Amino acid sequence: MGTQSDKVELKVGDERIAGTFLHPDAKVPGVLFVHGWGGSQQSDLARARGVAGLGCVCLTFDLRGHEKTRAERQRVSREDNLKDLLAAYDKLMAHPWIDSSAIAVVGSSYGGYLSAILTTLRPVRWLALHVPALYRDTEWTRPKASLDRQDIDRYRRSVVTSDENRALGACRRFKGDVLIVEAERDDYIPHQTIMNYRAAFVESHSLTHRILDNSDHALTGEVSQAAYNGILMRWITEMVIGARTGGQAYVQEPRAA
């Protein structure tokens, strides 16, 4: 099955951010990719092309404060970027090829954190979180770049429950299928943060937790990139494509290859 790509603009208030649709040549699941802080849609395009080849419509996009809107980096808040994500989700849902009951969201780091919150605001059936970040609920509208880095690190190393954090609370209420991918040598997202997320998914239909051995937060190197791509593609094939052919999701115990 071939794929096509179309450049799109997402309107957020009076501003516009860039995105790229990738879709197969028939009505299909939709997959929304959300990059991390300091990243861009470029980091997701190769994976999106692979997923589109499975028979999905994929949308990648640049959060404000990145790429063409990098000049806003010191002003953009989590509230602003959540609005970007909502605009991207709505753009994906408006695509004529989309099956509106079959939406997957793939979020990395900061994008994973925002993706968890998104599940309380829009329907999401499948949720993939790669090294998901975690932040206090306070100072929600403060510019993201000005948040206290040391305080964030302390918070991520502490036990945080789903009744004291907005993102984890969203995870507690999520009833779809979940993939969590952890990096063994992550300098930004400690193991405790991953376990906080994992513990929050008490009502999910299935939970798959994988650890990328010898990988850092940024997936530096071809081996780490290939390992993550393989995990994501297998999970999407099992969950998203399997659901359309009558396959059953299952809970997979953690440990990376």
pLDDT of residue 253: 41
pLDDT value, residue 26? 64
Contacts of 133 (CB under 8 A, 6+ apart): 36, 37, 109, 110, 112, 113, 156, 188, 189, 193
Phi and psi at 76, nearest 5°, equal -75, 135
For residues 56 and 50, what is the distance between their CA atoms, to the nearest angstrom?
9
Would residue 77 count as lying in a domain? yes
What is the extent of the structural domain holding 38?
A: 3-244
Tell me which residues of the chain have a pLDDT lower than 70: 1-2, 24-26, 245-257
| Count of domains forming the chain | 1
The Cα–Cα gap between 58 and 229 comes to 15
Residues 59 and 26: their CA atoms lie apart, in Å, by: 16
Contact in structure between 84 and 61 (CB atoms under 8 Å): yes
In total, the chain counts a number of residues equal to 257
Is residue 189 assigned to a domain? yes
Q: Does any domain span residue 167?
A: yes
In this prediction the pTM is 0.87
What is the rounded distance in angstroms from the CA atom of residue 240 to the CA atom of residue 245? 9
Pairing relationship of beta strands 15-24 and 57-61 according to DSSP bridges: antiparallel
Backbone angles phi, psi at 106, to 5 degrees: -115, 110
- Asked if the structure places residue 94 within a domain, the reply is yes
* CATH number of the CATH domain containing 116: 3.40.50.1820
Beta pairing partners, 58: 22, 31
Please identify which residue in the block is written with the tokens 């919150």.
Answer: 117
Instruction: Tell me whether residue 257 is in a domain.
Output: no
Q: What is the structure's pLDDT at 252?
A: 39
Task: Give the pLDDT of residue 247.
Answer: 56
